[in-house]
Amino acid sequence: MNHDEDLRRRELLRFRGRSVAWVPPLLLLFVVVLVDVNTTERFRIISWIILVPGIAAAICGVWTTAAFAVTCVVLYIFVDSAWPSEYQAGLPDFVLVALGGALATLACVIRLRAERRMLHMQDIAETTRLTVLRPLPQDWAGLENAAVYLTADVEARVGGDFYDIQPGPYGTRVFVGDVQGKGLGAVAAAASLLGTFREAAFHEPELTAVAARLETRMDRHRYHSGYLGNEDGDRFATAVLLGFPWESDGQVEVVNFGHEPPLVVGPCGMRRLPPGDGLPLGLGDLTGSLPPMRRVPLADGETVLLVTDGVTEARNAAGEFYPLERDVARAVAADPGTAEPRRLVALVRDGTLRHSGGRLADDTTVFAVRPAPGEGPVRGRLPS
């Protein structure tokens, strides 16, 4: 589909799949002519016909706007000539109507070019989003998963939040995080971390080695960006790294880089994992050590829920934070099936948007995973 077709598809005024954008200017044209013909010479409004191509320029295509401009000129001549000469609006208003139609057509051309540029930028943003946050099958590498990603900038459609699942010979690894700051610098840092995660999670046998590779990647990214004079020289990222090893015995490995503690949600209720006592990625040199790896038991049917601070710091009109744990606990108590990843993600997404009134102050990610019943990660059968 080319941009012109997309623009036509995006027209605001449609009825049963067809554009009716031409109806408002046509009705106005009819009203102006009808009123001018049926009133006295004290109320000549035929020059108001200049409004018709102006309205068309805002909602119609170029050729439709040009057609209205020409029609207005012809009708002006016809209607004005029907009056006695002493009551005619005359040449000045004729020039006004003709010039107004030409300028309206030009304005329509400029408007459509701006819309094409906007659509092109949206295409670029969507391509960037799919590159950074690649689509994940709902049942991937032995894990059921669901995710929702909402940017504070709805036009940008991509920001500093990230998530991914990487299967490999040693199990399946999950990576969720939030780069400090916004803009293209945050996107670049997120892409850099995800690239390293996808390689390290496949090749490294230990989750702690994956964590070390990620810390090194963030340090290198900050070092390079700092020499370029970018603000990334001070950037860091909070993140959670999960491991579902082959011989897990119902346990999940967790490394928390200063991120929101994950929640484990199941039919029997909800519990919070220990808070991350490590520093964010990029700040490890302050302590000279990485966060510890913990092994946490995971019962059948339990889901690990991870969110970024766009959820936990969402505020309502009174300035109150979104009560994530309260809402999740209530929902699971009322219906244990809510612990299923897709339903859980939908619950948190809807609750966040409802609480904030749809006004997100930060990028928002909700991600949920649990082992698929009777399945395991794809062991050693992926290309290196």
DSSP 50-96: GHHHHHHHHHS-HHHHHHHHHHHHHHHHHHHHTS-GGG---HHHHHH
Closest by CA to 160, choosing from 328, 17, 282, is 282
For the chain, the average pLDDT equals 83
Report yes or no on 379 lying in a domain: no
Q: Is residue 131 part of a domain?
A: no
How far apart are alpha carbons 348 and 341 in whole angstroms?
11
Indicate the SS3 state at residue 110. helix
Domain boundary residue, one of 125, 154, 169? 125
How many other β-carbons are positioned within 10 Å of the β-carbon of residue 240? Answer: 27
Cβ burial of 216 (10 Å; 0-12, 13-18, 19+) is middle
Q: Are residues 7 and 114 in the same domain?
A: yes
Answer yes or no: do 221 and 358 share one domain: yes
Q: Which residues contact 369 (CB under 8 A, 6 or more apart)?
A: 143, 144, 145, 165, 174, 242, 303, 304, 341
Verify that 60 and 153 share a domain, yes or no.
Answer: no
Say if 224 falls within a structural domain. yes
- Give, as one character, the DSSP assignment of residue 331: H
pLDDT score of 378: 47
In a domain, 356, yes or no: yes
| pLDDT computed for residue 383 by the predictor | 45
Residues 112 and 146 in one domain: no
Q: What is the pLDDT of residue 51?
A: 92
Task: Give the per-residue pLDDT at 16.
Answer: 66
What are 19-65's pLDDT values in tens digits?
A: 788 888 999 999 988 988 888 777 888 888 999 999 999 888 899 99
Residues 121 and 140 in one domain: no
Burial of 294 (0-12, 13-18, 19+ CB in 10 A): middle
Q: What is the CATH number of the domain that holds 246?
A: 3.60.40.10
For residue 103, what are the domain limits? 3-125
Distance of CA 12 to the CA centre of its chain: 21
What stretches of 109-250 adopt beta strand conformation (E)? Answer: 139-140, 143-150, 161-168, 171-179, 237-245
Domain final residue pick, 125, 156, 191: 125
Torsion over CA: 223, 225, 226, 232 (sign)? negative
Of 125, 147, 172, the position where a domain reaches its end is 125
Q: Tens of pLDDT along 347-379? A: 999 999 999 888 887 788 999 999 987 654 444
Residue 43 is assigned to a structural domain of this protein: yes
Which pair of tokens denotes residue 334?
């009322």
pLDDT one-digit tens code per residue, 209-219: 999 999 999 88
Looking at the fold, whether 213 and 314 belong to one and the same domain comes out as yes
User: Of 152, 160, 163, nearest to 185 (Cα)?
Assistant: 160
317 within a domain of the structure (yes/no): yes
Query: How large is the C-alpha radius of gyration of the chain?
Result: 30
Shared domain check, 291 and 221: yes
Strand pairing category for 237-245 and 251-257 = antiparallel
Same domain for 174 and 321? yes
User: Do 118 and 144 sit in the same domain of this protein?
Assistant: no
Q: Which residue has the tokens 């995973």?
A: 369
**Does residue 380 belong to any structural domain of this protein?**
no
**Does residue 171 register a pLDDT over 50?**
yes
* One domain, residues 266 and 320: yes
**Are residues 321 and 375 in contact, defined by beta-carbon separation less than 8 angstroms?**
no
88-128 pLDDT tens trace: 778 888 888 899 999 999 999 999 998 888 877 767 666 66
68 and 101, same domain (yes or no): yes
Taking a C-beta distance cutoff of 8 angstroms, is the pair 172, 198 a contact?
A: no
What are the Cα distances from residue 29, in Å, to 55, 101, 110, 154?
10, 13, 23, 37
The tally of domains found in the chain comes to 2
91 and 9 in a common domain: yes
Q: What is the mean pLDDT of residues 188-209?
A: 91
